[in-house]
Chain A
Amino acid sequence: MMDILKQPLPWYIAGPLIGLMVPVLLIMGNKSFGLSSSLRHICAVYIPAKIPFFEYDWKKESWNLFFAGGIVIGGYIAGTLLLNSQPVQLSPKLISDLSRYGVTDYQSLVPKQLFNWKALLSIRGGILMILGGFLVGFGTRYAGGCTSGHAIMGLSNLQFPSLVATICFMAGGFITANFILPYILKL
């Protein structure tokens, strides 16, 4: 049993399970699936600074913070008890592309050679972690949602604005991955 649970989930099992979060949260308590709003609630709780955008009754939205906390615990369980001893099966093309930038360790989900405490002080690490994180927070809130809120929840509810947002997420991703990231990795 544990051996089965340690196996990576194929897309045709993982996708439907992720999609089921939509009805599960609605039936649990009329909650719309989405995670980027947790970042807004954290601002509202700790650093509202009299900014109107953060002045609302965050207690009514606190379910989202419990949900996010659960994800951290789930990540811990999956990263310890259910850890797959085999490395992720990546495309040989990606491996050969990345090896040119000195990325050779594919053991972990978060590449240790790029994301570590020491790298934070380098330009490359700073761009990946600090600027990258900033853009995730700024961009998702400007767009009013992220992959879960727009791409999954919004599209599940056939919302046109979510289709626009999802197309833009993908367009931004394509441009960055193919035309900008190679230069950042060379730094």
Chain B
Amino acid sequence: MNETDIFQRKEINTDFEVGSLDTTFIPQRKQESWWSYIKYIVAGILFGIILVKSEVISWFRIQEMFRLQSFHMYGVIGSAILTGVISIQIIKRLGIKTIDGERIVLPQKKFHKGQVYGGLLFGFGWVLTGACPGPIFAQIGTGALVIIVTLVSAIAGTWVYGLVRERLPH
């Protein structure tokens, strides 16, 4: 699929996480070589270790959070957001570029009803599984192999959303 195909897509974009489909997003000029993906594996390994060592992948910690029985999760998520806000402000103000010298582009999201309905549905799933998508991968890594079933089910949920999305309110 080339660039023109992407611009001719009929569907309305409601998912701003797929950068190459976001028409407001400047397409990557340079195709990354396969070995450059190693850096994303390394970033993933570090992120996975942090997720496990901070216990945010614990089903129990999720229950504590929603029962207001512990500050831990609020502290983690709150300080992560604060760090992210400060980092993005620094990147913007100093005009920091990527290691390949590209200008950093931040996707702008548009509001649609899916953020409400989908958000509530994900909230239900988050409590049941005790995991969001990142922690699902980390839980499997720690040896809880039965969580592969949860992952397959989450892939199925994503697929069914893709199948019925035209009929859902957005």
A and B found bound together: yes
Chain A interfacial positions (CB closer than 8 Å to B)? 7-9, 11-40, 42-43, 47, 49, 51-57, 60-64, 66-80, 82, 84, 88, 90-91, 93-94, 97-98, 106, 108-111, 114-117, 119-120, 127-162, 164-178, 180-181, 184
Q: Which B residue's beta carbon lies closest to that of A23?
A: B87
Contact A75 B138 (CB under 8 A): yes
* A152-B84, A156-B87 known; A70-B43 Cβ under 8 A: yes
Q: Once the chains are docked, how many angstroms separate the CA of A173 from the CA of B98? A: 36
Q: Once the chains are docked, how many angstroms separate the CA of A93 from the CA of B93? A: 46
Contact B83 A19 (CB under 8 A): yes
Question: Which residues of the other chain, B, contact A171 by a CB distance below 8 angstroms?
Answer: 119-120, 123
Question: Which residues of the other chain, B, contact A142 by a CB distance below 8 angstroms?
Answer: 114, 117-118, 121-122, 161, 165, 168
* A54-B162, A140-B118 known; A115-B147 Cβ under 8 A: yes
Q: Which B residue's beta carbon lies closest to that of A79?
A: B142
Q: How far is the CB of B8 from chain A (nearest CB, A)?
A: 12
A-B pairs with the 8 shortest C-beta distances?
Answer: A172-B123, A70-B44, A74-B48, A75-B141, A19-B83, A142-B118, A156-B84, A168-B119
Contact A161 B51 (CB under 8 A): no
Q: How far is the CB of B105 from chain A (nearest CB, A)?
A: 6
Q: Once the chains are docked, how many angstroms separate the CA of A32 from the CA of B96? A: 15
Q: How far is the CB of A102 from chain B (nearest CB, A)?
A: 15
Question: Which residues of the other chain, B, contact A80 by a CB distance below 8 angstroms?
Answer: 143
* A75-B48, A143-B114, A152-B80 known; A181-B128 Cβ under 8 A: yes
* Max chain B C-beta neighbours (<10 A), residue from A116, A137, A151, A164: A137
Chain B interfacial positions (CB closer than 8 Å to A)? 1, 6, 9-11, 14-21, 28, 32, 36-67, 69-73, 75-85, 87-88, 90-91, 96-100, 102, 104-112, 114-134, 136-144, 146-147, 149-163, 165, 168
Q: How far is the CB of A103 from chain B (nearest CB, A)?
A: 9
Contact A156 B85 (CB under 8 A): yes
**Could you say which of A15, A53, A144 contacts B80, with CB atoms under 8 Å apart?**
A15
Q: Once the chains are docked, how many angstroms separate the CA of A54 from the CA of B14? A: 13
Question: Which residues of the other chain, A, contact B41 by a CB distance below 8 angstroms?
Answer: 66-67, 69-70, 73
* A129-B129, A143-B114 known; A164-B119 Cβ under 8 A: yes
**Could you say which of A25, A82, A108, A184 contacts B53, with CB atoms under 8 Å apart?**
A82
Q: Once the chains are docked, how many angstroms separate the CA of A8 from the CA of B47? A: 14
Contact A156 B81 (CB under 8 A): yes
Q: Which A residue's beta carbon lies closest to that of B56?
A: A14
Q: Once the chains are docked, how many angstroms separate the CA of A47 from the CA of B48? A: 27
Contact A115 B114 (CB under 8 A): no
Q: How far is the CB of B95 from chain A (nearest CB, A)?
A: 12
Q: Once the chains are docked, how many angstroms separate the CA of A30 from the CA of B70? A: 35
10 examples of A-B residue contacts, CB within 8 angstroms: A9-B53, A40-B15, A68-B44, A78-B138, A91-B70, A120-B146, A133-B129, A133-B151, A135-B122, A171-B119
Q: Which A residue's beta carbon lies closest to that of B143?
A: A79
